[in-house]
Chain A
């Protein structure tokens, strides 16, 4: 895997040669269509207790809590 990762970086190094002076990074492609803004939703509770359904695929559960090896602070 290491050889693969190394040759991967050979490809990736190409970008260091590119001049990007003054270019703003593109984080959200949609902004090329129109100005993107975070949409805000109303502060309303509409998700209720579905614990059983959500925990159907849980590896280890007891009394509704997900069990993991002791978390040491």
Chain B
């Protein structure tokens, strides 16, 4: 594996947040399971949750005489990822055998890529707050997943299930560019978004579709890189941050105690919140890599890359930029709305139907998302369609109803989306009063009835104003146009 020159990685300029005076250096290796029906080298299914060894054919079991045959879609996924991350997609790459013994590795070697990976270079860009960040990639290569060992039901034994063996993976390796656990998590989230966006991976972390290994080391600023330890198999963003934070504190404690850090592979235990060494990683165990004689080199023609490039969806970052420039949305909104293709589509459909970008953004990010989360629904399965939401937003924009009334109507639509909005406005008496004349009359009545509030306001108490607004809204049964009401009241009290 081409290791980055470990001595010459500079400290990030300006802002590495130091922990107890130490700079944190983090690099990630992410294994993303690819969205294919069949395995990378065999025709067995990759579906999760099947009964043990029912999706492990002769090739996956490494039966004598079995041979690998490459899955085209897995290669497509690699090309898509390469294009999405601005990487170089190698015209010719080679599969190599990584030799070691383990019960979940049936052949006694893993087919991977060593000297010449399919994707080279590239970067992942994201925001941390308002600061733009970019993490460079070293490479991404295709390889096969191993099986699973199960321990629970067996005393002194383990049960090996090879259903997962042969599932296609892309191993995505970064330079050690990250300088904090927050940055690392932000990177992981952005990568997660990208691979799901371009449909290369289903991103299901609980099922193990997206697994991160974090290489963590610490050093005094300006010093050479410290010895790193690898935290393996982080499959939740929450645990990712906890694990890295603990590991950093642990390493610093060791160094402060005068102890050296030994290279090791560690696991995070969510129960205790601690990282614990698995086995000491001898400086790169000798895997005796050599090109796999069963697989000729993978050749990717430029035409194929062009074809795929043409069929790629607009990427989240680019789409967010477009939302900012075309719809005039703030960065935050644009980033939130582009968290998934589905949400972005929903948003654009809504805007296309009502022309109210900011309102649509507010409603989708706010009321809609809240309800979806509560009901544990994806936006694809939202009971209220973009068209209906657009209609609702139109009525609010026109001033027919207030925002709050909109929430009440949304509740009703959520349970029965076929109800006509106009009917609901009517039956619930939510029609907003916009007539200044009527409103002025209302205000006069309220001012008359709340003389002490008026006095307090005139004495300088701002809160009294809100109390008057509250009274006026109450008197109008919530139907007064709040903006108009506020304006008129201000005028009257001036």
Please report A residues at the B interface, Cβ cutoff 8 Å.
Answer: 27-28, 30-31, 36-51, 54-55, 62-71, 73
Contact = CB atoms under 8 A, between A and B. Distances in A.
Contacts of B54: 49, 51, 64
B51 A64 contact: yes
A70 B156 contact: yes
Contact of A44 (B38, B63, B293): B38
Contacts of A73: 267, 278-279
Contacts of A51: 53-54, 56
A68 B293 contact: no
A69 B278 CA distance: 18
A27 B293 CA distance: 7
B43 A45 contact: yes
A42 to B, nearest CB: 6
A66 B160 contact: yes
Contact of A68 (B63, B75, B160, B295): B160
A41 B157 contact: no
12 contacts: A30-B296, A37-B296, A40-B75, A41-B71, A45-B37, A45-B43, A46-B38, A47-B38, A63-B159, A66-B53, A67-B154, A67-B157
| Nearest 5 Cβ contacts at the A-B interface | A65-B159, A43-B73, A47-B57, A40-B72, A64-B52
Interface in B100-151: 102-104, 149-151
A41 B72 contact: yes
Interface in B21-62: 36-38, 42-45, 51-58, 61
Contacts of B51: 49, 64
Given A43-B71, A45-B43, A64-B54, A69 B63 contact: no
Interface in B153-207: 153-154, 156-162
Q: Which of A41, A42, A43, A69 has the most chain B CB atoms inside 10 A of its CB?
A: A43
A32 to B, nearest CB: 13
Contacts of A68: 103, 149, 157-158, 160
Q: Which of B54, B102, B159 has the most chain A CB atoms inside 10 A of its CB?
A: B159
Interface in B267-281: 267, 278-279
B158 A71 contact: yes
B221 interface: no
Contacts of A55: 53
B100 to A, nearest CB: 13
Contact of A38 (B44, B52, B293, B298): B298
A65 B296 contact: no
B5 to A, nearest CB: 27
A70 B152 CA distance: 11
A54 B56 contact: yes
A33 to B, nearest CB: 12
Contacts of B103: 66, 68, 71
B52 A65 contact: yes
Contacts of B299: 37-38
Contacts of A27: 291, 293
Nearest to B77: A43
Contact of B52 (A36, A46, A47, A63): A63
B383 interface: no
B69 interface: yes
Nearest to A25: B291
Contacts of A46: 38, 43
Interface in B258-291: 267, 278-279, 291
Nearest to B74: A43
Q: Which of A39, A45, A51 has the most chain B CB atoms inside 10 A of its CB?
A: A45
B37 A44 contact: yes
Contact of B36 (A30, A43, A54): A43
A42 B278 CA distance: 39
Contacts of B150: 65
B70 interface: yes
A54 B60 CA distance: 11
A47 B37 CA distance: 11
Contacts of B355: none
Contacts of A42: 72-73
A39 B294 CA distance: 11
Q: Which of A41, A47, A54, A63 has the most chain B CB atoms inside 10 A of its CB?
A: A47
Contacts of A28: 293, 296
Given A37-B297, A40-B75, A54-B56, A45 B158 contact: no
